[in-house]
Amino acid sequence: MTSVRDAAFELFRRHGMTTIFGNPGSTELPMLGPLPEDFRYVLALQEAVAVGMADGYAQASGSIAHVNLHTAPGLGNGVGAILGARANRAPLLVTAGQQARSMITMHALLTNRDAVDVPKPYVKYGYEPPRAVDVPFALAQAIHHATLPPAGPAFVSIPMDDWAVELAPLDYASQIARDVGGRAQPEPARIAALAERLRAATRPAFVAGPDIDASGGWDAAVALVESQRLPVWASPATAGSRIGFPENHPAFQGVLPPAVGPLGETLAGHDLVLVAGSSVFPYYPNIPGDFLAAGSELVAITCDPDEAARAPVGEAIVADVALTLRALADALAEPADERERPPARVELEPAPGGAQLTGGDVHATLAELFPDDGIVVLESPSSTAALRNRLRISRPGSYYFSAGGGLGFGLAASVGVQLAQPARQVVCVLGEGSAQYAITAFWTAAAYDVPVKFLVLRNGEYSILKWFAALEGVSDAPALDLPALDVAATAASYGVPSRAVAERDQLHAALIDALAQPGPRLVQVDVAPGMTLA
């Protein structure tokens, strides 16, 4: 006979989901033990960390990942990270244990009350099957929802006494065998019309968003930009989960500012703005202005109907980003040789150095040593711009950032990214404040010997919040200083060999050494407080 558990693991196997991230409790044990030999369980010590790891793993592997959470309190812990996974478009199956069916109505301890409502705004699908025999079918549906564009998390709550229930073939066999896929081709008429507008435009521009990378459209974007001589802007860094265009390319102009007014002004003078793989736009903070300058028109390409519907300006084509860029390049068979080449990028001058290193100094040193096929996972708010300016990431699948705005993604996700990409070196760049939101991921990195190199910038404060306080006209906000946090000592206590440095030559030597070692390593560097753009 086949149990719910047998059928569920067979389903996971069919979808290549043989790695399970999680933090277990008594309500999950009936699912987990004994784990089939072809599965591995990656233990996170807190659920937000488990979700962040699974998010990084899903994005970097380009396939669905499974994260298993403890019932109500564990699911609650995971919700902020589930929000992040939704914003990052990470295909995730999120499962959580539930009390035994006979105990739910009396709300016995560990009942997940209204379980489906807990992560509701952030999952594409949420379900608690009415019968044990429906569990494999519900899991299959969640997998399809999670992977169909736009990808995202899907949730199933599973009562703990369901796993041992025996199934008849009719309950599960055809349901778990289904293959469901669908990357939409754009409508030919819309592509023809867009190609015509692009041909006729005098100063068109291209905005590269994260979904170019996720959809495999990197080469198509480069080919289109080169043949049409388009200047390229990256979509705002504050919510760009990935990079969609090589930032060392001569057509690259920089990263768009995230606020409405400055963003519109930056694109002024372009009669047609083509946005690929980004919302229009992940605006923040509230600096009002025109969405677009007079004379500018905008067309966005997105796989997400919601993103298309809620844009405050412009038109949209809803289809797979890579397929659309290829279709557009085909429709524009002739290169735009008569158009002027994009101007050279305006370089930002690094701020004059003081006694202490700046974030820009640190990223300049990192750029010197960064491996050709390295991957950056970034969560260092006051030096995000400096890292983008200094590193000039130029290969696909090489940059991950939390699009949801929640801290805790970076440290956790870096472990998942490295597990998904064992042949490439992951460098995780963190602020000392950001590191605290997923601090226990150091334990998983050490315990599973995941060789991430962590670079922690320690400036003794929440620098970005001081910058925001000035922008918002807020004075004397409490609790923006973080004296004496020592991430190096904390990571060492979890088993990650760590060094703390303060001088440029020490940093250089410590990074060389860390990159040469086989396991996880951490370098903490003291930097001057404040924002650094370059």
Residue 171 in the binding site for ligand TPP (CB under 6 A): no
Complex with ligand TPP: residue 19 or 383, whichever CB lies closer = 383
Rounded to a whole number of angstroms, the minimum distance from the CB of residue 463 to ligand TPP is 3
Residue 432 in the binding site for ligand TPP (CB under 6 A): yes
Element (H, E) at 458: strand 453-458
Measured CA angle at 343 (ends 340, 344), to 5 deg: 145
Q: Which of 74, 152, 374, 431 binds ligand TPP (CB under 6 A)?
A: 431
Q: Which of 59, 61, 98, 459 binds ligand TPP (CB under 6 A)?
A: 459
Complex with ligand TPP: residue 301 or 485, whichever CB lies closer = 485
Determine contact, residues 92/65, Cβ cutoff 8 Å. yes
Q: How many angstroms separate the CA atoms of 510 and 376, rounded? A: 18
Complex with ligand TPP: residue 304 or 461, whichever CB lies closer = 461
Q: Which of 434, 444, 490, 524 binds ligand TPP (CB under 6 A)?
A: 434
Tell me the three-class secondary structure of 320-389, residue by residue: CHHHHHHHHHHHCCCCCCCCCCCCCCCCCCCCCCCCCCCHHHHHHHHHHHCCCCCEEEEECHHHHHHHHH
Complex with ligand TPP: residue 380 or 498, whichever CB lies closer = 380
Rounded to a whole number of angstroms, the minimum distance from the CB of residue 362 to ligand TPP is 11
Residue 465 in the binding site for ligand TPP (CB under 6 A): yes
For residue 498, the Cα-to-chain-centroid distance in whole angstroms is 26
Residue 241 in the binding site for ligand TPP (CB under 6 A): no
Q: Which of 163, 409, 443, 462 binds ligand TPP (CB under 6 A)?
A: 462
Residue 279 in the binding site for ligand TPP (CB under 6 A): no
Q: How many angstroms separate the CA atoms of 432 and 151, rounded? A: 31
Rounded to a whole number of angstroms, the minimum distance from the CB of residue 279 to ligand TPP is 19
Q: Which of 301, 464, 488, 501 binds ligand TPP (CB under 6 A)?
A: 464
Q: How far apart are the first and last CA of the chain?
A: 63
Determine contact, residues 148/183, Cβ cutoff 8 Å. no
Q: How many angstroms separate the CA atoms of 123 and 57, rounded? A: 18
For helices 72-88 and 409-420, what crossing angle results, to 10°?
A: 70
Q: How many angstroms separate the CA atoms of 488 and 432, rounded? A: 10
CB neighbours of 73 closer than 8 A, spacing ≥ 6? Answer: none
Q: Hey, how many other C-beta atoms are within 10 angstroms of the C-beta on 467?
A: 14
Q: Which of 23, 98, 380, 398 binds ligand TPP (CB under 6 A)?
A: 380
Determine contact, residues 445/512, Cβ cutoff 8 Å. no
Residue 382 in the binding site for ligand TPP (CB under 6 A): yes
Paired tokens of 151: 């990808």
Complex with ligand TPP: residue 180 or 477, whichever CB lies closer = 477
Determine contact, residues 396/421, Cβ cutoff 8 Å. no
Rounded to a whole number of angstroms, the minimum distance from the CB of residue 509 to ligand TPP is 24
Classified as helix, coil or strand, 37 is: coil
Complex with ligand TPP: residue 245 or 462, whichever CB lies closer = 462
User: Shortest Cβ contact with ligand TPP: which residue?
Assistant: 431
Give the binding-site size for ligand TPP (rule: CB under 6 A): 19
Complex with ligand TPP: residue 46 or 296, whichever CB lies closer = 46
Among the residue ranges 278-286, 298-306, 446-454, 456-464, the one whose residues contact ligand TPP (CB under 6 A): 456-464
Element (H, E) at 274: strand 272-276
Rounded to a whole number of angstroms, the minimum distance from the CB of residue 491 to ligand TPP is 15
Q: How many angstroms separate the CA atoms of 37 and 30, rounded? A: 16
Among the residue ranges 86-94, 155-163, 315-323, 461-469, the one whose residues contact ligand TPP (CB under 6 A): 461-469
Determine contact, residues 236/388, Cβ cutoff 8 Å. no
Paired tokens of 204: 């068109």
Q: Which of 80, 204, 374, 396 binds ligand TPP (CB under 6 A)?
A: 80
Rounded to a whole number of angstroms, the minimum distance from the CB of residue 45 to ligand TPP is 17
Complex with ligand TPP: residue 41 or 284, whichever CB lies closer = 284
Rounded to a whole number of angstroms, the minimum distance from the CB of residue 494 to ligand TPP is 18
Q: Which of 241, 296, 302, 463 binds ligand TPP (CB under 6 A)?
A: 463
Determine contact, residues 157/115, Cβ cutoff 8 Å. yes
Rounded to a whole number of angstroms, the minimum distance from the CB of residue 19 to ligand TPP is 25
Paired tokens of 49: 């960390």
Q: Which of 4, 433, 453, 522 binds ligand TPP (CB under 6 A)?
A: 433
Q: How many angstroms separate the CA atoms of 42 and 66, rounded? A: 11
Rounded to a whole number of angstroms, the minimum distance from the CB of residue 466 to ligand TPP is 8
Rounded to a whole number of angstroms, the minimum distance from the CB of residue 465 to ligand TPP is 5
**Site map 395..414 versus ligand TPP, x via CB under 6 A:** ----------xxxx------
From the list 108, 321, 122, the residue with the least C-alpha distance to 209 is 321
Q: How many angstroms separate the CA atoms of 387 and 381, rounded? A: 10
Bridge partners, 302 (sequence order): 318
Among the residue ranges 24-32, 50-58, 193-201, 458-466, the one whose residues contact ligand TPP (CB under 6 A): 458-466
**Which residues of the chain form contacts with ligand TPP (CB under 6 A)?**
80, 380-382, 405-408, 431-434, 437, 459, 461-465
